[in-house]
């Protein structure tokens, strides 16, 4: 997939530090994207912040027109894979329960290029920002459908 979206939640009552250090301290909702000739309007609010993100010292932006995060999820949220896993960024804590939706969303090439214009805080474009597959370490992957 050319794009993957992660929406990360922490367990209620935990500080971020506690959530990162506790098994299932975090819950991640993940959606994959396929390339489409059409723009995905649900991404507009995210894409509108890219110029701000690239030009602020902390590489963050506030979204001024709130929208429901559900608009960034597939129509069919009942079909998913679930497993206990780790974060995808260093130090890769084993702290997350992952829900990966089976139905992919779509993104246009133009939208993908705009996302790929993000930089890493040192003026270099974000690219190849994936982690190699990790050993299963006995983990089981469950699915919600037959």
DSSP codes joined into one string, 11-53: -TT--HHHHHTSTTSEEEEEEEEEEESS--GGGHHHHTTHHHH
At 106 the pLDDT is 98
Strand partners, 82: 99, 142
CB 133 within 8 A of CB 83: no
Report, as an integer, the average pLDDT of 106-127.
Answer: 88
Task: Give the pair of three-digit tokens for residue 118.
Answer: 């993000």
Report, as an integer, the average pLDDT of 62-67.
Answer: 70
- Determine the topology of domain 3-143 in CATH: Carbonic Anhydrase II (3.10.200)
CB 31 within 8 A of CB 104: yes
CB 87 within 8 A of CB 20: yes
- Mean of per-residue pLDDT scores for the chain: 89
Task: Give the pair of three-digit tokens for residue 79.
Answer: 């079909």
Q: In 3-state terms, what secondary structure has residue 4?
A: strand
- β pairing state of 80-85 and 96-101: antiparallel
Residue 133 pLDDT class (50, 70, 90 cuts): confident
Q: Is the pLDDT of residue 132 over 90?
A: no
**In this predicted model, which residue has the larger pLDDT, 131 or 146?**
146
**In this predicted model, which residue has the larger pLDDT, 38 or 120?**
38
Predicted TM-score (pTM) of the model is 0.88
CA distance 96 to 92: 10
């Amino acid at each position: 997939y050319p794009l993957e979206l992660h929406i990360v939640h922490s367990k209620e009552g935990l500080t971020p530090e506690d959530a990162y250090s506790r098994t299932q301290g975090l819950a991640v909702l993940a959606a994959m994207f396929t390339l489409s000739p059409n723009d995905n309007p649900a991404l507009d609010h995210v894409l509108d912040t890219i110029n701000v993100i690239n030009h602020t010292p902390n590489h963050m932006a506030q979204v001024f027109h709130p929208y429901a995060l559900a608009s960034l999820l597939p129509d069919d949220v009942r079909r998913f894979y679930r497993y206990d896993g780790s974060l995808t960024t260093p130090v890769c804590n084993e702290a997350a329960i992952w829900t990966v939706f089976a139905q992919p969303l779509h993104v246009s090439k133009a939208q993908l290029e705009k996302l790929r214009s993000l930089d890493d805080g040192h003026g270099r474009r974000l690219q190849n920002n994936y982690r190699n597959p990790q050993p299963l370490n006995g983990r089981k992957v469950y699915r919600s459908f037959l």
